[in-house]
Structure 1
Amino acid sequence: MSRSVETAFREDLLEQLTYFEKETSELLRKAHPDAAKRDAIHALISAYCDHIQAYLDGDIIGETDACVWIGSTVTIVDELDGSEEQYKLVLPHEIDADLGHISFLSPLGSRLLLARRGDRIEVDSPAGSYGVMLFETVYRK
């Protein structure tokens, strides 16, 4: 990764940490009336922020395209029919279905966050459970 790309990536991660410091309470308030689901969302946000901090501290090296960050574009493969779909994982206020931008809080997005290439992901959605494989992840701002 070039120095300027790495610098931009680090700046994006710092912006995300700032966002979560300011917005986590509001995200949890809006998230779900069920306390267990709110707790799961809080745990997801905490784990993600911990991962960001570990990267920024230098404890994790080379992770830019090895795992899914908020801002990553992912290609997943459906286990049943082998079809590929591409999505970009975004913050809730950046959702755009026409562009394939899904929230990290959605059933699929929450399972993709921090997943690694080659991971099998089981997604529980309102329409039922399904499995996908994370084929590729690329971080792009």
Structure 2
Amino acid sequence: MWLSFFIFRRRFEWKRTNCFARKWMERGVSTMNLSMNHPLRRSLVKQLIFIDENRIELVNLYLAATRGKEKDYDFFGRYITKIESFLRDFDNRFSPKMDTVYIGCEVSILYNEENEEEKFTICFPDHSNPDDGHVSFLSPVGRQLLLRGVGETLTLTTPLAEVAVTIKDIEFKQYC
């Protein structure tokens, strides 16, 4: 019985996902401000489709990578809502400078005590390479920077220490 329920659920999820993916492409062309030609818009819509198509796996990865009290069970819902809002207000003259950290953004942070800057590019797990400054949005640093804003001060909790930082600059870098 459980197996048949699981198979039904996976089929339902697959059908539902494909409907959402079509909705995003239609919405991108019809209601979300004129043009899909801008690379930033195209990249963010691709992110929404990817997240929607892989939501179960991404939620499982997110929950496995996040400690108990830090778990945000509506994380992807909040992320999607933020991107939808950004796309609704999108103007094709936007520069790559951003106010909010999204996947694909390069974030400049200032370590408050040392007065030193460092840049990270927030990416999907399969593109992460910490040596090059590409950190997964599921990593401790990436997870805490995502959806934060320019000028925001926070305490980054890393496996080694807690560090006070300020977000100095956000620029969209990865046009998928």
State if a TM-score over 0.5 links the two structures.
Answer: yes
Give SS of 2:147's match: coil
> 2:104 touches 2:172 (CA, 8 Å); kept in 1?
yes
- TM-score, normalization: structure 1? 0.82
**Residue number in structure 2 paired with 1:83:** 116
- TM-score, normalization: structure 2? 0.67
Q: Distance in 1 between matches of 2:141 and 2:86?
A: 24
Q: AA paired with 1:57?
A: R
Which aligned runs of 4 or more in structure 1 are off by greater than 3 angstroms? 3-6, 33-39, 60-64
Structure number with bigger Rg: 2
**Residue number in structure 1 paired with 2:139:** 106
Count of matched residue positions in the alignment of Structure 1 and Structure 2: 137
**Structure with greater proportional strand content:** 1
Deviation at 1:91, TM superposition (A): 0.8
1:73 pairs with one of 106, 121, 135: 106
**Residue number in structure 1 paired with 2:74:** 43
Deviation at 1:87, TM superposition (A): 0.8
Q: Distance in 2 between matches of 1:49 and 1:95?
A: 21
Measured on the aligned residues, the alpha-carbon RMSD in Å equals 2.8
Structure 2: which 5+ runs fail to align?
1-33
1:125 pairs with one of 144, 147, 158: 158
CA shift in 2, pair 1:130/1:54, >3 Å: same
> 2:65 touches 2:139 (CA, 8 Å); kept in 1?
no
Q: AA paired with 2:172?
A: Y
Are 1:22 and 2:40 matched, yes or no? no
User: Identical aligned pairs, as a percentage?
Assistant: 25
Q: Deviations over 1:19-71 (max 9, x none)?
A: 1111221122234187946942x42222111111112223x776951121111
Deviation at 1:130, TM superposition (A): 1.5
Are 1:116 and 2:176 matched, yes or no? no
Q: Distance in 1 between matches of 2:66 and 2:169?
A: 33
Are 1:96 and 2:96 matched, yes or no? no
Q: AA paired with 1:71?
A: G
User: Which deviates more, 120-129 or 69-78?
Assistant: 120-129
Q: Distance in 2 between matches of 1:139 and 1:129?
A: 26
